[in-house]
């Protein structure tokens, strides 16, 4: 892998695993020095990543990681079911046997990451799982929206799954593995409507976990 490709992979991972927090400055010069590149290819990559939704670029200001806010989260949970369901239903119609094999490989890695308690890898392979389904849909119009959603889906996952897992969280993770398996099985049978229903239910699992994180049960502190 050449230096620009290494930077590309590293910068995306740093954003998705929240090593670079939403709204933080991305230092072009520091990245150029770290990866042994001149500034033009770093700048070119940043423009590409800004077009995909990873970065925000403004004239005469340093690049920043795309921010997240209440409106961002609201927009995500409004749009995500539509896009995930559409891509999954199309994948049921268009997936090839080789693509399904690749999806199974990703699922094995996702399951192993959960077994290992590896939050970063778990989020990474969940992202790859849904990206692979998007690729299997073979629809150029949906892919930009899916890729943008997956950026914030990964960052949300790093936010509300990064703490030591509670019994409820472990149950949710186990359910997510089962749902992935069910989605794969529906895709294999070309059952588009069933696959769409399954991914909608799967998306709701994330919504519930985020709601639990954002509005936890209050501490029960005796007043006397």
Residues of the domain holding 21: 3-65
Per-residue 3-state assignment (H helix, E strand, C coil) for 47-116? HHHHHHCCEECCCCCCEEECCCCHHHHHHHHHHHHHHHHHHHHHHHHHCCHHHHHHHHHHHHHHHHHHHH
pLDDT value, residue 160: 72
221 domain-assigned? no
Same domain flag for 47 and 75: no
pLDDT bin (cut points 50, 70, 90) of residue 164 is low
Q: How far is Cα 90 from Cα 68, in angstroms, rounded to an integer?
A: 29
pLDDT of residue 119: 87
91 and 193 housed in the same domain: yes
pLDDT category at 163 given cuts 50, 70, 90 is low
Phi then psi for residue 145, to 5 deg, are -65, -40
Mean pLDDT of the chain: 90
Of 152, 207, 201, 153, residue with least CA distance to 178:
201
Same domain flag for 51 and 77: no
Asked if the structure places residue 84 within a domain, the reply is: yes
Residues 118-129: tens digit of each pLDDT:
888 988 899 999
Examine the fold and report which residue of 44, 65, 86 is the final residue of a domain before the chain moves on. Answer: 65
pLDDT digits (tens, 9 = 90+) for 99-122: 999 999 999 999 999 999 888 898
Query: Domain total for the chain?
Result: 2
Higher pLDDT, 31 or 219: 31
């Amino acid at each position: 892998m050449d230096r620009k490709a290494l930077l590309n992979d590293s910068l995306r991972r740093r954003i998705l695993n929240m090593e670079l927090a939403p709204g933080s400055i991305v230092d072009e010069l520091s990245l150029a020095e770290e990866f042994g590149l001149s500034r033009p290819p770093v700048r070119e990559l940043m423009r590409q990543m800004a077009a995909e939704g990873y970065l925000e670029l403004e004239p005469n200001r340093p690049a920043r990681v795309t921010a997240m806010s209440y409106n961002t989260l609201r927009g995500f949970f409004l749009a995500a079911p539509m896009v995930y369901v559409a891509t999954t239903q199309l994948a049921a119609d268009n997936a090839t046997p080789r693509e399904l094999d690749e999806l199974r490989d990703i699922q094995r890695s996702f399951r192993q990451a959960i077994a290992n308690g590896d939050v970063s890898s778990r989020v990474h392979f969940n992202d790859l799982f849904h990206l692979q389904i998007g690729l299997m849909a073979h629809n150029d119009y949906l892919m930009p929206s899916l890729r943008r959603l997956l950026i914030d889906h990964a960052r949300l996952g790093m936010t509300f799954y990064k703490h030591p897992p509670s019994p409820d969280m472990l149950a949710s993770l186990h359910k997510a593995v089962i749902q992935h398996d069910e989605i794969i099985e529906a895709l294999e049978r070309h059952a588009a409507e069933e696959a769409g229903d399954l991914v909608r239910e799967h998306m709701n699992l994330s919504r519930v976990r985020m709601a639990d994180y954002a509005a936890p049960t209050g501490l029960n502190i005796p007043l006397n």
